[in-house]
Every structure is written in C-alpha cells, then in structure tokens.
Structure 1
Amino acid sequence: MFALVDCNNFYVSCERVFAPRLEGRPVVVLSNNDGCLISRSDEAKALGFAMGEPHHLARPRLAQHGVQVFSSNYGLYGDMSRRVVQVLSSFAAGVEVYSIDEAFLDFSGMHLLAPDLLAYGAEVRARVRQQTGIPTCVGIAPTKTLAKLANRLARKQGTSGVVLLDTPARWQAALAEASVESIWGVGRRYARKLLEMNITTGAALAALPEAWLRRHLGGVVGQRLWRELHGHACLDWNPAEWDEAGEPLAANGAARHSVTCTRSFGRPQHEPAALAEAVATFAAKAAEKLRRHGLGAHLVTVILGTDRFAPTGGPSTHTACVTLPAATADTSRLTQAALQGLARLRQPGTAYHRAGVLLSGLERTGEVQLGLFEPAAAPVPPQRAQLMATLDRLNSQFGRAAVQLAVATAGKPSGRPPAWAGRAAYRSPLYTTSWEGLWQLS
C-alpha cells in the first residue's frame, strides 16, 4: 500500500502559517519576478483567478476583491517542505519526495500496526497540521497511480481529507468517476487520442486489454499503467535521502540528471559586470546543490534570454556549453566554466531578460568516469574539497551567500540587492531560516 500526502495550496498555506488572519480570505502567490499567479487559496479560485494568470492583467480584479498578494518566497517554502517531510518520516518506513508539496509513503505491512488505514491517514493529516501548520490531503491505495487518484478525491469538499481505495470495488468506482485525462500517467497527447476513441473515464481505460495499452500507449509504459490501475504496483520507488544534519534531500541523487538555476531579471541587463555577477551567483547555487547530493558535473550550460515578445523574431533563448575534463562540484571551477560560456554568448549592446546555469553529465563523487583515450585528470587536491565544505558550513551558519566569490558581488552596492534581482514587491520574511526575518507576534 502507498499513501500520497499532498499539501493544500502549499505556497498559500505557508504564508498563512505566519499570518493566521488570512484564514478564510482570498490569497495568491506570484511566480519569480512577480510574473503570474502560481498558487491560489480556495477563496481565490472561487473568485475565478486562474493558474498562470499574468499578474499585471489580474491586478485590478485582485484589488477589487481585496485579495492578499505575496511574491514567491522559496526559501520559506523549501524549509516548510522539509519540516513536513520530517513529520511524515515518522509514519512510514520509506518516504519518496515527489515534489515540494507532495510525498509518497510506503505503507507496506502497515496494516499489522494500524489495521484502520483510514484512521491512520487522518492521524497523518492531524500531526502535520499540528507540527507545521500545513493542511494536507491523503490518498491511500495499493499503487502510486491509484494513490494519486485517491488523493484527488480527498481534495474534494465534503470529504474528511483522507480517501482509502483498498479494494477493487472501491478503486473501480473511483475510476468510473475520474476523467481519463485526470489519470496519472495519461499525458495530454494520449488523452486526446483516447477521447477521440470515446474512452472518457479511468474505468473505460482500465477495462481495455493489457495488450491494447502496451500497443497504443507507449509500450511498457502503457503496460505499467494498466497494471497500476488493476492494483499491481510496478512503478519505481525512490526513497528520500537524508544529509548529515538529518534533513531530507529533494530527490534521490542517483536519479537526478541535471541541476538548474535560472532567474528572470527585474529589468533588462546589458552590462557585462551585471551579467557576470548573475551567472556566477547561479553557478554557485547550483554547485551547492551538487555537493548536497554528493554529485559532480562535467557539462556546464549557460543560458541567456532576450525579450521573447520582441518583433524582430528569431530565438529568444541562447545557450553555450562548456565541457570540463572531469566532473566537479567545486564552485570556483564551475563558475569559471560558466563565465567562459557567458563570454561566448553575450553580444555587446544586447539587453537580456533572463539567465541561468544548467549542470549536467552528473556523476557520483568519487566515481568519476575516465576517458578512454584522454589522459587521466590530475587528482583534486583534498584542500579543495575541504574549502568547499567550509564554504557550505559558513553559509549554513551565517546565511546563504554570506561567503561568495568576488565575481558574484562585483556590481552589487553594499547592503542593496543586485541590479539584476527580480521584482518581489510583496515578499514575506524568511520566518524560519533568518534571524532578521524571525516571526514576531504583533
């Protein structure tokens, strides 16, 4: 058995934890650069605000209805997600972090300790709410796909927030109510194909022969979907990993294929110093994440974006890839490679609206792949690894970016945000990770 625990309107819920007065009021959270709506309270949804709606278009209606608006605060949301996962880890032998607001729990054999899984799911919800303040819904079923369906049903009004699909009769009834495009694993292209064939519900899809799904829905992928819908678990299980401090990592490092850090600028940038500062900052953040997962990268891709709505036409996103002789998580080496890529891409006088760094070709630390014809790279001095460990420790103790490379602060006035920083006019404090933003009762 599996349980899927999903945090309700997660970003909004995080803001409400520290502003209880907002309970029952419409609240929205904006994307990076205050661009569009990415999280909405149920009250905001009822007013007709759509996911992804541009903020500048929605602003008059937001003011008309008295909607509380927040800029995204990912430092806060990430820490609250970590706290939720820590609570969940006490309820199951395994936890798989699926996203920042969702996690699967392995309930194998749990019926021996908790015969009433419905009550156990309610206890999970209550404990998470008590210890973190975050409301959740819980779906329990024999497979991940059915647990997703159960969780979707648990979100509906009138339920207790927990749905158990533990028998074929129960999950068949749930599948009969579910539209085929809502089934986890049925993408937009396959949904269109199925609807054209008058296959409109999950039950109709499950009633088809296994061989039909294998033939028409991606081979083994379709076959796995069929088996999942019939109660046979066959999707991979990727439990969360934990760092030295006992904190959950976002995903299984072995399954990660890339690490990316990208941002849109608050205003277009064309000065070389500002662009170099931004790219160096993104490279440092990505390198820190590599080290947290015990990985190294030997491909550094730099991304620069111009105005995608410009009338001149042509591509608005430009990339340059730099290959390193050996995989590394060293901030200075990755930053040096990123700046090389930036030098190739930047066109004098061109205004750039966004930038980013993507690290790929990931390998486990200590398991570097050697070239067949190239000479072996010189071993990394142990002092470099010690330096990176010290850097991470200082930034953990005194705040992110307390210690940086000089190039990442070259154009930044003391005590002021960098020129390329995105707009965040409505951002709340970092209540849980910064002494300056510590929550105060008013």
Structure 2
Amino acid sequence: MAVFCLVDCDCFYVSAERLFDPTLIGVPVVALSNSDGCVVSRCPIAKSKDIAGGGLAIKMGAPFFEIKHLMKSHGLRVVSSNYALYQEVSNRVMRVLETFVPKIEVYSIDESWLDCSGMKVDLEAFGREIQLAVKKQTGIGVGVGFGPTKTLAKAANFSAKKWRKETGGVVVLMDDIRRDKLLHWMPVDEIWGIGRKLSKRLEIMGIKKAIDLARYDKKSLRKLFNVNVEKTSMELEGVSCYALSEGAEPKQTIASTRSFGERITTIEGLREAVATYATRACAKLRSEGQLAACLQVFIQTSRFDDKPYSRAVICGLVAPSNDTREFVALALEGLNKIYVPGYRYSKAGIVLSQFVTGEGYQPDMFAPVPRRNSEVLMKVVDGINARYGRGSIRLAIEPPIAHWAMKRDYLSDSFCTDWSQLKRVKMS
C-alpha cells in the first residue's frame, strides 16, 4: 500500500521571522503580502478567536488598513514579506526532509510530500522524529500527516495542526475507521483541491462534508464537474490517483509583476518598471535553460480609481531568445502602444511564453543572426548578480533605486542572505 506523508511548516513566514528576531516570540505577529496589502501569515495568538485569552481573531487575507489600529491598541507586530529570507529558510527545511526518504516532492515554500511506501516503521513515531529533526536543525515547527493517498495525507495534516494539543502535530490516517471519523467532521471546503466556488456548488447538491464527497457517485461527479473532482472523491476513499512528481514540471509561462508602492503618472516611470520586470523574467528564463518567443506587457490603474484603465499587448520575437536586451526592447515597444497619459498607474507586468528548450533548439536558417556572444554575456551578467546581489550589473534604463518599488514599510533584515545584514554578536 502506498503511504504519503505531508509535512507543513507552522505559520511559516512568521516562524521564519521569529528565528532571527526573538522580540517577536510570545506576541501577536502577522506577515503582509506584496506592498503591505493584506495578511498572508498569522501566529496562533493573532488568529485565535479567544479574545478573552489575548487572541485577536485576525482572518487570513484581512486588509492591513483594517487591522493596523491593533498595533497600538493590542501590541500587534507586523512584518513585510521578506521573500529572500523565507526561501533560504525553506531550503534548509527541505534539506532536512530529504534525509528521511529517498523521494520528496516540494509542493510549496512551506510544504512537501514524502513517499514513505514500503517503510517498515511506526508512522507516528516516524512523524515525531521528523518534527524533532526539523525543529532542532532549523528552528521551524511542522505538522505531519500520513495517508494512503495525497488527499488523505493532506487531510491528516489539516487535523494534526487543528488539534495540535491532542495530536502533538502528527496524525496517521491509514485505517478506515479513523479516516471516516475525520471525513464525517471535515467541511468539504477544507479538502485539498476543492476551492471556495466549487464547494458552494457541491453544498447545493448536499455535499457538505468530506464523507459526502467520498461516497458520491463517481461518474456523476465527472459529468457534473471534471475528472479532478472524481479523482478527489476516489482519493478520499483510499484509492491513490496522484503520485509524487519526479521533478518540477517545465513552466509554460514566466511572469514578473508587481503593484507599485506609489502611483506612476509618467511613461518614464513605466519604462523603468517594465524594463526591470523584463530583466527579472529573462534571468528566470535562463536559470531554467529555456528560450521564449513571446512577450506580453500590461499596465493598469487601481480598479477603485475614478478613471480605471487596463491594457495589454502581445509581442513576438522572430526567433526564440533569452537575451535580456531583446526582451527589454520588445517590452518598451509594446508599452508605447498601450500607454495613455493622464492615468495614475498602480501595476505593470511582463509575461513570457512560447518556450523551447535551449539545448535542443534548432535555429531557423532564415531568421536574423543573433547578437554576437549573447549567451556568454548573459552568463557573465547572471554570475555577477548571483555573487554580488541582484542589480549589481544592469541595463542603463533600470534605476538603481526605484521610487515606485513595492511598498514594504515593515521589512526585516535579510539576516542570512546578505553579508552586510548578518547579526553581530558582541563578546564581553
């Protein structure tokens, strides 16, 4: 029988911040999304509904302006998302998990699937061993769930974290009795792969609990919804439909978009932003060994503005490339086509698509000759920026300091990703 294990970090962004800032321990803390827009991570105190016990009942996704007053009235601590720090901490956690099993699938920055099939161990004891190792080596707490399918392992992890005191953060869902007990309680919108809109449709059909979906007629589910809902139903009954991925699937698109920290009203500011985003997208493209033949550039105002405006344009290259200069020129050409003066722009972005693998690409003999030494130059640029930090070498149109950059008023230091921001310890 297949045995899947899902390891999920506890309130990951907040936990990563607490590793390097002890003053955040024991107080309510939330981490914010891009441009300090809304809450994306909450510590237990911040999300607890026990107001009498000090909880603040802050909801996931709550707009920051709605809870900002809690900083003064209840001592709420706020941090802007520090993605470089979170990725480094995530890498450390994943390296620990790789020591326990031969096969692992990194599902997100704070979650991973482990294939425990064929392992003759006490699963609950094994889960606690994983917990202890991750905590000891990284300082991050995790919840661990086991099941015969991915969906049930996810459900087990959900219950492990919901009833932390009772379970100790580890739940094994391998037997039918325990599985059905959880599914009878579990709301359908908490099932992995069942979104909010889909759950509303299911509830209209009388499918309100996970057990209802598990026992519903499979052919009807496929006919009314799609094959993925049918597979989810089968997985809830213990029939494995999803295996661990051997590796990350090749991306079909690469996007670089950001909301501006302040509105942009000139084309010069938009040119800087679009060029910067195209540069970042191309660096990602090269890191994956891909070439792209299509670029889309878009600009938009806030939908709440009195005069909302949004336009996009698709531009194509004659031959696939990953040369930053080619795509920046193309992006600026596209921007000129869609820019209209008189608007206060709040966001812009670049999307690359139509990929081909760099190693196996056969150039078109009738296409224009590519720039000389393009590959060597881009490799040198990437190497310098990897060693000395992004933007150490850049195109002239990219500003050294962007006044329109993403708003992060509560950003912590990089701690372990920037030499200049390492913690200093004074020895007395």
Output the TM-score relative to the length of structure 1. Answer: 0.89
Structure 1 counterpart of 2:130: 124
Return closer, same or farther for 1:273/1:311 CA change in 2, 3 Å cut-off.
closer
| Conserved 8 A contact 1:97-1:239 | no
| Conserved 8 A contact 2:290-2:356 | yes
Return closer, same or farther for 1:231/1:389 CA change in 2, 3 Å cut-off.
same
Among 34, 37, 48, the alignment partner of 1:35 is: 37
Aligned-CA RMSD value: 2.0
Return closer, same or farther for 1:307/1:222 CA change in 2, 3 Å cut-off.
closer
Structure 2 counterpart of 1:243: none
Runs of 4+ in structure 1 off by over 4 angstroms are 378-382
Return closer, same or farther for 1:347/1:369 CA change in 2, 3 Å cut-off.
farther
Among 69, 72, 75, the alignment partner of 2:81 is: 72
Structure 2 counterpart of 1:61: 70
Among 388, 410, 424, the alignment partner of 2:408 is: 424
The yes-or-no answer on 1:178 pairing with 2:178 is: no
Deviation at 1:441, TM superposition (A): 4.1
Return closer, same or farther for 1:329/1:87 CA change in 2, 3 Å cut-off.
farther
Structure 1: gaps spanning 5 or more residues: 241-251
The yes-or-no answer on 1:187 pairing with 2:195 is: yes
| Conserved 8 A contact 2:104-2:244 | no
Return closer, same or farther for 1:307/1:137 CA change in 2, 3 Å cut-off.
same
Deviation at 1:326, TM superposition (A): 2.7
Deviation at 1:199, TM superposition (A): 2.0
- The residue matched to 2:67 in structure 1 has which SS? helix
2: CA distance between counterparts of 1:208 and 1:197?
10
2: CA distance between counterparts of 1:231 and 1:382?
57
- What amino acid does structure 2 have at the position aligned with 1:118? E
| Conserved 8 A contact 2:307-2:343 | no
2: CA distance between counterparts of 1:376 and 1:223?
49
Deviation at 1:117, TM superposition (A): 1.6
Return closer, same or farther for 1:83/1:368 CA change in 2, 3 Å cut-off.
same
| Conserved 8 A contact 2:113-2:244 | no
| Conserved 8 A contact 1:139-1:162 | yes
2: CA distance between counterparts of 1:335 and 1:171?
54
- What amino acid does structure 1 have at the position aligned with 2:126? Y
1:60-139 to structure 2, matched below 5 A, reads 60-109=69-118, 111-112=119-120, 115-139=121-145
The yes-or-no answer on 1:2 pairing with 2:4 is: yes
**1:304-329 Cα distance to aligned partner (Å, 9 max, x none):** 1112111235xx43211111123222
- The residue matched to 2:232 in structure 1 has which SS? helix
**1:3-55 Cα distance to aligned partner (Å, 9 max, x none):** 11111111111100101232221001112112222211111112121222222
Structure 2 counterpart of 1:227: 234
| Conserved 8 A contact 1:283-1:331 | yes
| Conserved 8 A contact 1:283-1:334 | yes
1:15-414 to structure 2, matched below 5 A, reads 15-46=17-48, 47-109=56-118, 111-112=119-120, 115-156=121-162, 157-158=164-165, 159-218=167-226, 220-240=227-247, 252-254=248-250, 256-312=251-307, 316-368=309-361, 376-377=366-367, 380=370, 383-409=373-399, 412=400
Percent of residue pairs bearing the same amino acid type: 39
Structure 2: gaps spanning 5 or more residues: 49-55
- The residue matched to 2:397 in structure 1 has which SS? helix
1: CA distance between counterparts of 2:341 and 2:202?
50
2: CA distance between counterparts of 1:253 and 1:369?
22
Number of corresponding residues: 415
Deviation at 1:378, TM superposition (A): 5.0
| Conserved 8 A contact 1:363-1:369 | no
Structure 1 counterpart of 2:420: 436
